[in-house]
Structure 1
Amino acid sequence: MTTEPVAGAGFDPAFIPGLTAPTATPTTSAPDEPETAAPDQPTAAAEPPEPQEPEASADEDGAEEDSAEEAATEAAEPAPDGPVFEASDRRAKIVADHQGVRLSLDEEACEFGWAEIAAVESESPRFGKRYTITVHTPDRRWYPIEIEASSRSRFKEWDEQLDAVLDAYFEDGD
């Protein structure tokens, strides 16, 4: 007897807006189907093998064309000359630019467009070297990330860069 999982953030991290789904290879019976179909093809190989091969290559070419179009689209959209804030350590990274704010910790990542952000808060500790940035969303959720600085003097530099990005791209609702 199989039970359906309960939907919610406690069971599915993808339930939280802004988080990306983990990339995993699906384990279904679809890969087994071509193996069972392979013995059937030699019996009918005299009739339609040529049309099947061009269709498969057309699918591959289409996938290559799609990825080439996406790369061309990304390259065609030049980044504005506005400010960019980037901070990272061995585990965590934050990037704030014209697109929004992207946070990543180890292999987990989330992305927020400027329209999804209610506030961005930074905090420098009194002691220590961990700089904390928290992204607040309109639905009263917050996403903190800590970046370990090489020295405490980086805090002032990071605050200035983050303020420049927020001044340029973040539109306060007031």
Structure 2
Amino acid sequence: MEQSNGPIQQPLHAASADPAFVPGLTGVVTPLADAPEPEDGPEDVVADVVADPDPDAVEEDAEEDAAPAAVAADGPVFEAADRRGRIVADAEGVRLSYDEEACDFRWDEIAAVESEKGRFGKRFTVTVHTPDRRWYPIEIIAPDRGHVAGWETELDAVLDAYFDEAS
């Protein structure tokens, strides 16, 4: 009879094996092929969704969408992008996007913003730290070294204008 001399190792349950393990990520919901159709039929459901909404509500939505754009235009705005990533910091907060992934942070959700120039001068890394000790880095590759210095200056101006260290 054989016996194991080492500890019993359980299978690893982590993000590398199961993306649902990462907090905040949601999986893609696909409809089941054998799911029952609604009693009204698909045509009736589409007709209900496509029906004309209240015109007053549409005007209010348009006014609400225009208001944040006016707020963002008043102060400094930082924007840096390459072929895969993008960083935008303005009056609303900081938005990071990389390929199809994106995250938005309001200024009250940010504990610190850290920027770093790469070793050879063309890589610019911005890391957003949250109060719950999580950090979200993104690296942008500049077309040349001069852009990185300009990006640092623009980001500092935005942080000085909107980021309140007391919060």
- What is the alpha-carbon distance in structure 2 between the residues aligned to residue 58 and residue 94 of structure 1? 39
Cα deviation, residue 15, structure 1: 2.3
**Structure 2 residue 150 is matched with structure 1 residue 136:** no
**Structure 2 residue 51 is matched with structure 1 residue 61:** yes
Please tell me the residue identity of whatever aligns with 1:73.
E
Structure 1 stretches of 4+ with a deviation exceeding 6 A read none
1:72-121 deviations in whole A, cap 9, x for unaligned? 31114422410000000000000000110000000000000000100000
From 148, 156, 160, give the equivalent of 2:153. Answer: 160
Cα deviation, residue 156, structure 1: 1.1
Q: What is the TM-score when the length of structure 1 is the normalising length? A: 0.69
Counterpart for residue 7 of structure 2: none
Counterpart for residue 165 of structure 2: 172
1:55-82 deviations in whole A, cap 9, x for unaligned? 9655423568666643331114422410
User: 5 Å matches for 1:86-101?
Assistant: 86-101=79-94
Counterpart for residue 79 of structure 1: 71
Give the secondary-structure state (helix, strand or coil) at the position aligned to 2:51: helix
Q: Percent identity?
A: 49
Q: What is the TM-score when the length of structure 2 is the normalising length? A: 0.72
* 5+ residue gaps, structure 1: 1-5, 39-51
* 5+ residue gaps, structure 2: 1-12
Give the secondary-structure state (helix, strand or coil) at the position aligned to 1:83: coil
- What is the alpha-carbon distance in structure 2 between the residues aligned to residue 137 and residue 122 of structure 1? 15
Q: Across the two proteins, how many residue pairs are aligned to each other?
A: 150
Counterpart for residue 15 of structure 1: 23
- My pick for the range that moved more, 157-166 or 62-71, is 62-71
Aligned CA distance change for structure 1 residues 107 and 98 (closer, same or farther; 3 Å): same
- What is the alpha-carbon distance in structure 1 between the residues aligned to residue 66 and residue 166 of structure 2? 32
- What is the alpha-carbon distance in structure 2 between the residues aligned to residue 146 and residue 152 of structure 1? 14
Cα deviation, residue 173, structure 1: 2.0
Counterpart for residue 42 of structure 1: none
Counterpart for residue 105 of structure 1: 98
